[in-house]
Amino acid sequence: MDCLSTLQTGRPWPLGAEWDGAGINFAVFSAHAQGMDLCLFDASGTHELSCTPLPGHSHDVWHGYLPDAVPGLIYGLRAHGPWRPDRGHRFNPYKLLLDPYARDVVGRFDWRDEHFGADHRHAGHMDMHDNGVHALKARVVADRFDWEGDRHLYTPLAATVLYEVHVKGFTKRHPGVPEPLRGSFAGLGSDASIAHLQRLGVTAVNLLPVHLHVDEQRLRKLGLTNYWGYNTLGFFCPEPGLASGANG
């Protein structure tokens, strides 16, 4: 696909990547960027196939529309703008950026020198090593789901019993959750978990962080992980480590 010749202006909403059945619209916010590139990758997410400026710019949102593109497309962003760390501006087009509205993320994050925007020896200077091969990328999803007739419960607030729960901890420790499902979303939805919550009189659950997060560099060096998940990398992407069958 020749992105350079087919990318259209598109629209500034919704933010992120949206497939409408005929193509994909991309929209990303930046108040200070002077340009935003859409970079497409092969199915492995390692080879950059094209990198094209988003042609639309409306009220601090950069946008473009790619006809005939379908879910499964892997992409990243490169932002152009001032390199002025003294003023809070650290635009570096050598660094591939993850769409903050990504619903599905490809790759595993490792703390590599290439990911840092500034030269580690001279913090005031831009680092010009390209991180595209190793950077996390977004994968476009078809944002449609068949709820099969499920409806909101509409429990009155006065009758609501809200239970705050950590998905991994709760399902790891509950003896009734099947072993293969412990530590996962599926474990929380298991018969044993639902029955337990119902016995407590719970009407709604408030999940502690379940979105994509990254383990801090210091923890990784110590061989540790961020158990609670309070270091968000993508607010709209579920944490893969909470999927049934995931390691850990």
Is residue 232 scored above 50 in pLDDT? Answer: yes
Whether the predicted model's global pTM rises above the 0.85 cut:
yes
Average pLDDT over residues 118-147: 94
DSSP label at residue 217: H
Residues recorded for the chain = 248
Residue 1 has what pLDDT? 45
Average pLDDT over residues 101-106: 97
Average pLDDT over residues 177-204: 97
DSSP label at residue 176: T
162 and 123 within one domain: no
Average pLDDT over residues 132-152: 94
> What is the domain extent for residue 212?
157-242
Residue 4 has what pLDDT? 58
Average pLDDT over residues 165-193: 97
Strand, coil or helix: 25: strand
19 and 57 within one domain: yes
122 and 187 within one domain: no
Average pLDDT over residues 54-61: 98
Concatenate the DSSP letters of all residues of 179-190 into one string. Answer: GGGTTSHHHHTS
Q: Which residue(s) pair with 66 in the sheet?
A: 24
Confidence category of residue 179, pLDDT binned at 50, 70, 90: very high
168 and 105 within one domain: no
126 and 12 within one domain: yes
